[in-house]
Amino acid sequence: MFPAAARRIRSGRRTPGGAALIGAGLCLGLGLGLSLGLVGCSAPVPEATASADPTPQPGIMPLRGTPVDPSRAEHPSLAVKIDNHPAARPQLGLERADLVFEELVEGGLTRYVALWHSDVPDAVGPVRSIRPMDPEILSSFGGIVAYSGGQPQFVAAMRASPLLNVVFDDDAGGLFVRADDRDSPHDVVLAADETVTLHSDLAPPTGQFDYADSAAEATASLAGDPTTTIVTRFSESGGRAWAWDPAATGYLRSQDGAADLDSTGAQLNATNVVVLRVEVDRGSDVPRTILTGSGTAWVSTGGSTMPATWFKDAAAAPIRLADAVGATIELAPGNTWIELVPTDDGSVELVP
């Protein structure tokens, strides 16, 4: 058992009182069957800086913030490129991921980069090809990345990252299979637990975010404004929404106006929803999210949302979240989805 006396070392200061809730993007009628009341506008980026590295939190799962016997955390994280085409849903094992990044790809669609460490399933998928922003998203975690291939220049960049690459095109050990009940190319499945076991000599991940001791003590719970629904658009092709559910003590996910279900038939949910407004390089037919620098963000926990600034100094640096005075924001222990919403063609709407 983990030591009951193990506590986190705090970093930064919480902002007292309620924080002003500012939306972002254009006012769009999303047609999601939601009662949308507050329409977002662009928010200024505070002139603040965050600490360079997450605060050490011994006895805590680094990607989830939950207590753990340290011996159970001594294995690498597994990042997998996961399909989000309608034909790929429901995905396998996505509900057990610690972190999920949603990013824009071609045709206005999105794909996921999901990371598992605290709870690695037997199988995850459907696995798809790598994209140019993935090395920038994943380099700070180390460990393993699995994908089905990709354009040569994108694969080369991923192989040059600090992660061990496990690629469907090169698989000689049978770690990937094609599922009989799914159509190609939405049918590639990875033996996730076996992959991690085979490479258990790799180091565990370092923390990405800071975590409070409980959801009630998370920064957004203390300093945010009530928010029932978070609606994001990555393009004109479709929208997704997160609705706060007090009974589930989490946010329930919808896509294109329908509940987004996991492989068990339950609605996908998140303890924390973090929205980052990001620049997108559209100089080729494959859009590339830019995830170094800083920008506007919103952090939602426990039914409340607060504005923030995100910082990422380099590909190998973690994302830092700071409040209006530069103090590090602490998330609630649990899983987190990070929505990388384009500044040019995306929008964010926050509903009180």
Can you give the pLDDT at residue 46?
A: 47
Residues (pLDDT < 70) of the chain are 1-58, 172
Can you give the pLDDT at residue 71?
A: 83
329: which 2 tokens?
């924001």
Can you give the pLDDT at residue 59?
A: 86
Can you give the pLDDT at residue 135?
A: 97
Q: What are the backbone dihedrals phi and psi of residue 46, each rounded to the nearest 5 degrees, phi first?
A: -60, 150
Instruction: Give this prediction's pTM.
Output: 0.86
Can you give the pLDDT at residue 237?
A: 75
Proportion of the chain above pLDDT 90, given as a percent: 76
Cis peptide before 185 (omega within 30 of 0): yes
What are the structural domains of the chain?
A: 70-198 (3.50.90.10)
**What does DSSP say about strands 110-116 and 176-178: parallel, antiparallel, or unpaired?**
unpaired
Average pLDDT value for the chain: 86
Can you give the pLDDT at residue 64?
A: 97
Can you give the pLDDT at residue 236?
A: 84
Nearest Cα residue to 109 out of 204, 197, 237:
237
Q: What pLDDT, in 10s, does the model give residues 4-43?
A: 222 222 222 333 333 333 333 323 333 333 333 333 333 4
CB atoms within 10 A of CB 136: 19
Can you give the pLDDT at residue 96?
A: 97
Can you give the pLDDT at residue 171?
A: 82
Can you give the pLDDT at residue 56?
A: 53
The 3 state secondary structure assigned to the chain is: CCCCCCCCCCCCCCCCCCCCCCCECCCCCCCCCCCCCCCCCCCCCCCCCCCCCCCCCCCECCCCCCECCHHHHCCCCEEEEECCCHHHCCCECHHHCCEEEEEECHHHCEEEEEEECCCCCCEEECECCCCCCHHHHHCCCCCEEEECCCCHHHHHHHHCCCCEEEEHHHCCCCCEEECCCCCCCCCEEEEHHHHHHHCCCCCCCCCCCEECCCHHHCHHHHHCEECCEEEEEEECCEEEEEEEECCCCEEEEEECCEECECCCCCECEECEEEEEEEEEECCCCCCEEECCEEEEEEEEECCEEEEEEEEECCCCCCCEEECCCCCECEECCCCEEEEEEECCCCEEEEEC
**What does DSSP say about strands 210-211 and 225-226: parallel, antiparallel, or unpaired?**
unpaired
